[in-house]
Amino acid sequence: MEHEDTERYDPGAVEARWQAVWAGERAFDVPNPDVATQPDDSSTYVLEMLPYPSGELHMGHVFNYTLGDVFTHIRRRQGYTVLRPMGYDAFGLNSENAAIKEGGHPREITNRNIEAIRRQMKRMGWAIDWSREVSTAEPEYYRWTQWIFLQFFERGLAYRREAPVKWCPKDQTVLANEQVIDGRCERCGTEVESRSLTQWFFKITEYADQLVDEMATLESWPDRVLTMQRNWIGRSEGARVVFRVDGSGEELPVFTTRPDTLFGATFFALAPEHPLIAELTAGTEHETEVAQYVRHTAARSTVERETKEKDGVFTGRYAVNPVNGEAIPIWVADYVLMEYGTGAIMAVPAHDERDHAFAERYGLEIRQVVAPADGSTPAEAGAYVEHTDDEVLVNSGEFTGLTAPEGRRAITAWLDERGLGEATIGYRLRDWLLSRQRYWGCPIPIVHCDGCGIVPVPEEQLPVLLPEIDDYLPKGRSPLAAAEDWVATTCPRCGGPARRETDTMDTFVDSSWYFLRYADARNDDAAWDPQIVDYWLPVKQYIGGVEHAVLHLLYARFFTKALNDMELLGFREPFSRLFTQGMIYRHGAKMSKSKGNVVSPDEAIARYGADALRLYILYMGPAEHDKEWNDDGIEGTARLLDRIWRLALEVAVRGPVEAPAEGELIRTAHRTIDRVTDDVLRRFQFHTPIAALFELVNEIYRVKDDPERAGEVRFATEIALSLIQPYAPHVAEELWSRLGHERLWETAWPEADPALVAMATVEVVVQVNGKLRDRLRVAAGTSEETLVELALASERVRAHLNDGTPRRTVVVPDRLVNLVA
């Protein structure tokens, strides 16, 4: 019986009340241990990627942080001390571009957004340790970013050189290779250009092998992310082969993974940025044409260079192939990129698609040098022949007849003996370009002195404060250069006049170590105390978007390894376990203002409450998949909470009743504990526990008015509240208190009794035409309809039905399903 006069569920009031309690108590702060304390199994670190304060929170954040929150609550209630901090990735293009758009100063706009985000986070009721909050754009933080830069600089891991770099014409700054996605700026989507500039780099290439090899020590990372990193690093075995310029003898080394095809090299190609080009053509009839071509291609974007028809120009010079002494023409071709390999290739048009297209266009020789071992498809002359697993060398002098792997070994050994080449490992990874020609970033703590050269700012002079300037708009050179009073300084080494470095750091530098700072966030004397960092880290569970696979996630691993080598921390991987969540779509597209399909968290909270939003965002589907927002869906979870509200108040009115040791509802409650706990902790699955809670509440409603079962009903209702607490902490807390209990957020997580779980589970036999084909383990009392559905979902059953529908079905509840084909 439902009472008309039952107090209405008012999420706004309930949520405000408990948020005030948690804030007042600082309920989720965790103090640091005494530094002498050894880490124990009961401390854990749960972390989600920190937001850019370039606007307010969106549903993607709500999803990410609610995932982490449910995990945090369950771990806390299982007795773990959980470190769960939060901060803001406040420097960088995101924030600066937001400020430019709004026409304010980046600091002002960023701080305003931080306040809005903090307010939203509190409104969501997330269990965050606010005592450790950091903003990467505050001097207390970036002082240590500068200190870390100096540690890298001292060890040669940060250096400056002139190099061809990627330039975003819209953002007016250089980009790291990792920030160029398919030839476009990762931030704004503009096609990037190539420029030659003197820039700062981190020597991440020195860690290429470790970044690949030490993946083996990661407990649980998505294969997709590991594969992306492995491909990005691009380690491959091959050979360095030295060609020479015919006439001058100048060396032209190339890296190839296929030295067995060396006899098929019919031309040689240099990237337009190759430093030897001018020298090769100086004073020849080709000089002007080549120089024009080089100028022309420099203005082209990488996308254009990689996707359009290949073109190039002949230099008039030849390179000598070391295996056969053949002189092959040297071309300049824009499909050869300076940043890969040596910026030069030996072209084997018969077995490389791009070389083949180029050779066809310019009428260059195409010579096959490998063929299928069984001789099955003799290709016509000039054809492109794809590599196969089983091929032998042809037209390759003394090496003809060898298999491809034998040929690779034999030709490499032959070159090595003569000093013409050697086996080597090639990498696709390039050093991380960290300097930016933008205002809103961490100043690089370096001074340029005419006498002393590049001089690091002494540690005791940190932080080098970012000057306040009015005109911070990007102009192609760093806006800091205009702050003349700031730029002019004295050389720390000789005391003479000097100039400050005016580029700022890539914002990915700030986020490469924030997870370390959280561990010791209020330390004014050091970036961190190594003992404290070693106590909390590595992060036991990291949660964030897959779009950072070769950006933040690669950089953070590099920083951790380098800092470990400097003995500043005691581990080599920052994140033991990683979970990458899917994206939230609406009307089939990512939510965006321009598409008009945004539901803001504030809107959803105002209408349904934070608890309903928290439940819905996780109920949408498997956490790793992309999902579609549906307004009816959140109404469904809001109704569930309403049902729980009415149920719990009814139970509260009846007063305490002893729970019996036995009973169907007792067993169902234990089975639900088991499902929720197992799904979240073992399978990192967050939507199925909500389905289990829906079922439990339905079961309780079915019998709640039976006075004989009041004890069971009260027990199951309390379990439902206890289990829903991580998802809907406000309403669960309120109802828990109405039932006469206290502090559910600190109450031990319920444990399932295995015997009762087993009793609540039955084995149902599935037959097709009377023959046993499968067995299902389901909850006792599962409806006939559901049993047939589950039986039809079984692969084995479907196979015996030949994927048809059964003519007739016979069901014996809790025992058997027979399908008649």
| Residues within the interface to Zn ion (CB under 5 A) | 168, 170-171, 185, 187-188, 190, 449, 451-452, 491, 493-494, 496
Give the whole-angstrom CA distance, residue 120 versus residue 131: 17
DSSP-assigned letter for residue 348: -
Structure tokens at 101: 């758009």
CB closer to Zn ion, 496 vs 781: 496
Smallest separation, CB 66 to Zn ion (Å)? 31
Structure tokens at 693: 């809670």
CB closer to Zn ion, 550 vs 766: 550
Q: How far apart are the first and last CA of the chain?
A: 45
CB closer to Zn ion, 170 vs 235: 170
Closest to 339 measured CA to CA, from 500, 176, 213: 176
CB closer to Zn ion, 195 vs 493: 493
Give the whole-angstrom CA distance, residue 619 versus residue 640: 12
DSSP-assigned letter for residue 599: -
Closest to 602 measured CA to CA, from 50, 121, 49: 121
Give the whole-angstrom CA distance, residue 170 versus residue 152: 30
CB closer to Zn ion, 92 vs 463: 92
Smallest separation, CB 166 to Zn ion (Å)? 10
Axis-axis angle for helices 59-77, 610-619 (nearest 10) = 90
Smallest separation, CB 189 to Zn ion (Å)? 7
Phi first, then psi, for residue 239 (nearest 5°) are -140, 145
Residue 748 near residue 737 (C-beta atoms within 8 A): no
Pairing of strands 180-181, 344-347: unpaired
Smallest separation, CB 145 to Zn ion (Å)? 23
CB closer to Zn ion, 493 vs 800: 493
CB closer to Zn ion, 496 vs 655: 496
Instruction: State the amino acid at position 32 in one-letter form.
Output: N
Smallest separation, CB 490 to Zn ion (Å)? 8
CB closer to Zn ion, 191 vs 365: 191
Structure tokens at 305: 């260079």
SS3 for 679-711 is HHHHCCCCCHHHHHHHHHHHHHHHHCCCHHHHH
Positive or negative CA dihedral for 403, 409, 410, 411?
Answer: positive
Smallest separation, CB 555 to Zn ion (Å)? 19
Smallest separation, CB 498 to Zn ion (Å)? 6
Residue 538 near residue 573 (C-beta atoms within 8 A): yes
Taking CA atoms, 308 is separated from 165, 264, 295, 410, in Å, by 21, 25, 18, 37
Torsion of CA 100, 102, 107, 113, to 10 degrees: -130
CB closer to Zn ion, 378 vs 497: 497
Smallest separation, CB 197 to Zn ion (Å)? 16
CB closer to Zn ion, 474 vs 726: 474
Number of Cβ within a 10 Å radius of residue 420: 17
Torsion of CA 322, 323, 327, 330, to 10 degrees: -60
Smallest separation, CB 171 to Zn ion (Å)? 4
Smallest separation, CB 108 to Zn ion (Å)? 23
Smallest separation, CB 203 to Zn ion (Å)? 25
Smallest separation, CB 453 to Zn ion (Å)? 8
Positive or negative CA dihedral for 33, 36, 38, 39?
Answer: positive
Residue 182 near residue 416 (C-beta atoms within 8 A): no
CB closer to Zn ion, 171 vs 355: 171
CB closer to Zn ion, 439 vs 528: 439
